[in-house]
Structure 1
Amino acid sequence: EFIDQPHDDPWLLSVNIYDPHPPFIPPKIYADQFDKSEMPGPHFQNSDLELQRSLASVDFQGDPLPPEGHDAFQMQANYYAMIKQIDDQFNRIMQCLEATGQLENTVIIFTSDHGEAMGDHGLMQKGCRFYEGLVRVPLIFSWPGRFLQNVQRHALVELLDKTQTILDLAGIEQPEYSQGLSLLPLLTNETSDDHLRDFVRCEYFDALDP
């Protein structure tokens, strides 16, 4: 309805999707499309169990278990099913933009706040470990005719950069306190050096700690 209504000025729409998220219970119509026997399974080796136990005193992320202890293959199938549901609903937004003639003049950003362990290294959910599957999330930019298409960059970026990129697109000067960097050179210049910064910073804060 928001996309359909007339707009005299540029607009911004933020769609925050809760899933995929515990308890990983997708609608049956999607769950039936994914069989746990066809899942790739978690990244796991037996030494992960002892390693996670040794880290428990630093910060705790639940008891480490082998894949069968977490029913990791079924959880992965459920996770895929929830992603498929998101794909279908996101496609509705894309179709609406195209039907209303706005697709060519709309910047689309698709990302996530974090990944899920899904049995990797004996763990489930997110928590306090900074493994690749938890911190390397999708960050997809689309603007037909303006941004490079079908290009994957390997530069180290942060979600903070999303804000600065939007400000850059809008012609708004970056606030002094902002730590983000504009991604426009990576998005528009095919010959741009695939480098933005030397490192990224990740933090974990458990609001439930006493």
Structure 2
Amino acid sequence: MTLLLTDLPPLRIVLLCTLPLAYALAALAPGRLVQTPQAGWRLARWCAAVAGVAALLSTVWLLVGGEGLARGPAVFALGKAGALHLSLRSDVLACTMLLLVSFIGWVIVGYSQTYLNGERGQPRYIRGLMLTLAAVSLLVLTNNLVVLALAWIVTSLALHTLLTFFNQRPQALIAAHKKFLASRVADACLLGGIALLG
């Protein structure tokens, strides 16, 4: 049995939507909010913490309330516009994955801030990291194949910006470009498969 939007408390919907939106906020923050690397890292840490708390609360809510255990996954549409409607799915697996993504994202933000201290281009790295985390969160939550494919492609492109951060290292660039080409082939296969489905 699938739950509909009207069966879920609004707070639960807000918690699930908070995850990709918190990361997207840090990725798309105006330049004046992140003029210095310290300000960018501060915003990234806060957004990662908010996403982590939202993932934890959503998982606890699911397990304590028993929604995903007793009645199946919760699917709710946030808008309907043909193939691109945004429909999110919440079940035990999705909440567990979101908890994992948010925890690893929080750890990476802390590690990256220390590791990249003094490096140029930190705002570009922060934006790429936050965009990657936003896309992965959406990838885990979506219940629509077209949105899943778009989130997959955005994840791959944002990850490419992270892999090319040290652009003065030729071997790293060669590996990143090979991964880029392989990812575009995978994207084409994914889109082809979705087209065949429907």
TM-score computed with the length of structure 2 as normaliser:
0.31
More helix by share: 2
Larger Rg: 1
By relative contact order (CA 8 Å, sep 6+), the higher-ranking structure is 2
